[in-house]
Structure 1
Amino acid sequence: MFYDKSVVAQILAITRLTRLTRLHTAVEYFIREHGFHCYFFVINSTVSLNQSEPLRLHNLADDWVQLYRDEHLINTDPLVHYALNHQLPLDWRSLMTLPDYDTGEQRRVMILRAHHGMASGCTVPLAIGGLHARFNLISEQDGERAWDHVHQFLPYALLLGNVILERTRTLRGQDGTTTAQQREAHCAEALNSRERECLVWASAGHTNNEIGQRLGITERTVVYHISNACRKLRARNRQHAVTRAILSRQLPLEGLPVQFDSQGGGGD
């Protein structure tokens, strides 16, 4: 299903899958094709690996899952804490430089990850319909080239995480909410060309001022266009709007900037 397609098109192809087993297989194949070796996805980030969690997909090694359970690492896992308190995807190296993420216990969790073959990666906080989720994309490679690859892949990780969340909720049929949200998406207003342009540059992490300079408009006008796009797409913030615009085919599949702002923090 991924033959000779752009990265975004490959991710969007996953939306056609109709079984969780096929979803897991497709995600595992996709990430390996793009330089990653494992992933972890869970709805409701506070639920640990040692509890029954029907909405969880991953291909983590059994020894890591056992260790995580036995030592209750979820209590000091910085990736869990970040996903609960932030909205933007972030590579782990940048995450660990943020305030409140440099305790000895948190560093120990990340060191244990590295010892179990998870040397680099990123965490994507997700939320939809009152649910919170997180998606970890993981590489066994370390070094500058590995971290550069993780950083450059962040926009795709954000899109992939949202696709997995949407598919998982649909296939589980939680309270019929997905059908309602799909109807809502179909009713969203179409973006105009300027709103699409602003979202394209916002997807690369540019500030309102930088977007204005690129497009030859004022910062205030940029704010106006992005606010309109969020309203039309019924999005919480600009990154959510970017994701919904891509999923609804209102942003082009090709040519999106791949740079992403590495600064952590809350949403815009």
Structure 2
Amino acid sequence: MADQQAFFDLLDIMETEKLVEPKRFFDLMRSTFSIANLLYLDVDVPTAGFFIHRLHHTFSARSLTTYVDKRYQRIDPILRMTLGSVRPVDWATARKLHPDSEPLFSAATQLGLGLEGVTLPLATHTRRLAFLAIQSDIPADEWPAYRRCHLRDFQLLANLFHASLLESDSRIELTEQCAKALTHRETEVLGWAAAGKSYWEIGTILGISERTVRFFMTNTRRKLNVVSNTQAVAQAVRRDLIPTF
């Protein structure tokens, strides 16, 4: 069982940091709860198949290659039960309900993976699937008690992690939308600023007042969601928004 203080420390990190990188989150989860492996997946689910937005995991490359090469997704009962579900999917329950999935679990055993685990569906848009899968090496007879003790913590932390990634996407999209709204004159001013020109020099080059140059630069910083000219230039260069002189 996990130490409660360790859980609260992890919860504080998830609630205060804007974005917890997947590797850091996985490391914290494994050390806090003695979890063997985790997998986070965020995909579109069109008729033709999956389109992966994000895939992060701690499983070995061999495990993932075996799953894909053998096309176990066709018989994976956990994946089947997670689609369209809001309830956690216990792996042992899924295995019992779908006997045709036995080759998948046999392969997992051969790879040295424990068969106890739970998959947590996460909130998504229509025709999209996201979940956090947690695999444990805890003995089968101890798993029910372990799961009952920690399932609520797992769900809360999974939701916070998923939300931080979605919020990061929203911030990037908002910045990109603002960047696209830069006017021709603003990109000119920013381009000359990137070339190292002062406000006075930019005004002379463009035939406008220094005050007007300051006005354009203020607008540019606001649209790019930055606080300094240096940051504005860096964002513009990274997004290929300004001409090179």
Q: TM-score range, shorter-chain basis?
A: 0.5 to 0.7
The number of residues matched between the two structures is 168
Secondary structure of the corresponding residue to residue 123 of structure 1: strand
Match of 2:71 in 1: 72
Q: Deviations over 1:137-190 (max 9, x none)?
A: 11123331134213322111211221121111122338859xxxxxxxxxxxxx
- After TM superposition, the runs of 4+ consecutive aligned structure 1 residues lying more than 4 A away are 174-177
The yes-or-no answer on 1:107 pairing with 2:107 is: no
Normalised to the residue count of structure 2, the TM-score between the two structures is 0.58
Structure 1 residues 60-139: aligned runs within 5 Å: 60-97=59-96, 101-104=97-100, 106-116=101-111, 117-130=113-126, 131-139=128-136
Q: State the structure with more CA Rg.
A: 2
Q: Quick one: distance in 2 between partners of 1:113 and 1:174?
A: 39
**Uncovered stretches (5+) of structure 2, i.e. residues with no partner:** 175-245
User: What is aligned with 1:141?
Assistant: 138
The change in CA–CA distance for 1:7 and 1:33 in structure 2 (over 3 A counts) is closer
Contact 2:43 2:53 in 1 (8 A): no
Residue 38 of structure 2 corresponds to residue 43 of structure 1: no
Greater RCO structure (CA 8 Å; 6+ sep): 1
- Specify which structure has the higher proportion of helix: 2
Show the counterpart of 2:166. 169
Query: For residues 124 and 45 of structure 1, do their structure 2 counterparts lie closer, same or farther at Cα, with a shift above 3 Å needed?
Result: farther
Instruction: Give the Å deviation of 1:18.
Output: 4.3
Mark the CA change 1:90 to 1:69 in structure 2 (over 3 Å): closer, same or farther. closer
> Quick check: 2:44–2:53 contact (8 Å CA) kept in 1?
no
Distance 1:4 1:124, change over 3 A: closer
- The residue that corresponds to 2:243 in the other structure is none
Unaligned runs of 5+ in 1: 178-268
Residue 74 of structure 1 and its aligned partner are, at CA, apart by 1.2
Instruction: Tell whether 2:6 aligns with 1:10.
Output: no
